[in-house]
């Protein structure tokens, strides 16, 4: 009794990849962290966002780093102030709450968000302005 396993036929190698080019193109790539951050910031609007809120929304553990890179690399202005409502323990340092500084910064952030979305094949979205007409921070 020969219990030797038989090799697969040579023609079967073409059938290993079950994904077709059409199914690969229809799949949407996952968003970048900066895209999730921009969406959360724009969605919160005049309320602003803190690190614990960002963690709850999209598991961001270093919001200050993302805000800093958006400021320094993309030129998007932010306002940050300590949010004393986030203090739970007596000697705890408060988290900063971040807002987009002006309506021009909101437009820049929205353009960047939509650029990321269009690269993934998604439609553009729009967030209405929440700043005062004089373009000062909310």
Domain of residue 56, CATH code: 1.10.10
User: Does the global pTM surpass 0.75?
Assistant: no
Domain assignment present for residue 23? The answer is no
109 pLDDT more than 90: yes
Q: Token pair of 1, please? A: 């009794």
45-94 per-position pLDDT tens digit:
989 999 999 999 999 999 999 999 999 999 999 999 999 888 888 888 89
What count of residues does the chain have?
A: 138
Cα–Cα distances in angstroms (integers) from residue 99 to residues 10, 13, 30, 32, 86, in the given order: 61, 55, 25, 20, 16
> In this structure, what are the phi and psi dihedrals at residue 130, rounded to the nearest 5 degrees?
-120, 0
pLDDT (0 to 100) of residue 20: 44
Domain count, the chain: 1
Structural domain of 90: 33-138
């Amino acid at each position: 009794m020969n219990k030797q396993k038989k090799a697969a036929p040579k023609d079967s190698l073409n059938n290993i990849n079950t994904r077709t080019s059409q199914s690969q193109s229809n799949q949407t790539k996952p968003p970048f962290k900066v895209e999730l951050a921009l969406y959360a910031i724009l969605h919160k609007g005049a309320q602003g966002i803190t690190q614990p809120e960002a963690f709850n929304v999209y598991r961001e553990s270093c919001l200050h780093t993302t805000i800093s890179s958006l400021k320094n690399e993309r030129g998007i202005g932010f306002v940050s102030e300590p949010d004393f409502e986030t203090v739970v323990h007596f000697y705890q340092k408060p988290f900063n709450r971040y807002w987009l500084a002006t309506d021009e910064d909101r437009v820049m952030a929205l353009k960047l968000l939509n650029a990321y979305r269009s690269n993934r094949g998604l439609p553009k979205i729009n967030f209405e302005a929440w700043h005062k007409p004089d373009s000062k921070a909310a």
